A and B are shown apart, each in its own frame.
Chain A
Amino acid sequence: DVKVTQSSRYLVKRTGEKVFLECVQDMDHENMFWYRQDPGLGLRLIYFSYDVKMKEKGDIPEGYSVSREKKERFSLILESASTNQTSMYLCASSPAGTGRHIQYFGAGTRLSVL
């Protein structure tokens, strides 16, 4: 069974804190993605990575950064959390090549910034 694991299901942080969201996949996938999901707005792509140490901005990268030091791990970093970053964060991975459009999602991290 394919597995994408997000380190926390729920997080509560204070404004201005640095926040790390971790995602690990055990499928040896090349591609990894970070989305946020908000009511009425659907899933919006924050950052993605096609390879180790490689990253590309998605549609809403402002206020976020990412790190991919190892193939299986993709971290999302909120340098200084703000209340408008309260959201559900979803990590996904997909294989390279013809199968790359099939994304496997983690269970999500619900982040509240107070």
Chain B
Amino acid sequence: TQLLEQSPQFLSIQEGENLTVYCNSSSVFSSLQWYRQEPGEGPVLLVTVVTGGEVKKLKRLTFQFGDARKDSSLHITAAQPGDTGLYLCAPRTGNQFYFGTGTSLTVIP
């Protein structure tokens, strides 16, 4: 089992603030995905990153894959209440998928 750590575990911020959450491992991955899971729902894919150093933007969300493909970050600019949810990173090695325990984000109006 790969050791995968997401931080922080919980985050509560005011609407309009910026935030960054992290996904770290000592293992090298071929790709990595970020999902968002809203309360009572299943995870929904946000983005897939494949290349070391890759940066992808999805509106106010910026995703970065570490140069060594061992870590990733998700930065949210001007957070909105609709961003509330559990953010899961899911790296992949070969045919194996792994999920972190997630960062639970609450954006207070």
Which A positions have Cβ atoms within 8 angstroms of B?
A: 4, 9, 35, 40-45, 59, 90, 92, 101-108
Contact = CB atoms under 8 A, between A and B. Distances in A.
Interface string B81-109: 00000001010100001011110000000
A4 B31 contact: no
A9 B42 CA distance: 11
Given A42-B88, A42-B99, A42-B101, A102 B45 contact: yes
Interface of B: 1, 31, 33, 35, 40-45, 48, 88, 90, 92, 97, 99-102
B48 A102 contact: yes
Contacts of B100: 42
B31 A101 contact: yes
Nearest to A100: B95
Contacts of B45: 102-104
A107 B40 contact: yes
15 contacts: A41-B101, A42-B88, A42-B99, A43-B88, A90-B43, A101-B31, A101-B92, A101-B97, A102-B48, A103-B90, A103-B97, A105-B35, A107-B40, A107-B41, A108-B42
Nearest to A35: B99
Contacts of B97: 45, 101, 103
A80 B36 CA distance: 33
A105 B99 contact: no
Contacts of A44: 99
Contact of A101 (B1, B44, B48): B48
Given A101-B31, A105-B44, 13 more contacts: A41-B101, A42-B101, A42-B102, A43-B88, A43-B99, A59-B1, A90-B42, A90-B43, A92-B42, A102-B48, A104-B45, A105-B35, A105-B42
A69 B33 CA distance: 30
B1 to A, nearest CB: 7
A43 B42 CA distance: 11
A24 B43 CA distance: 16
Nearest to A44: B99
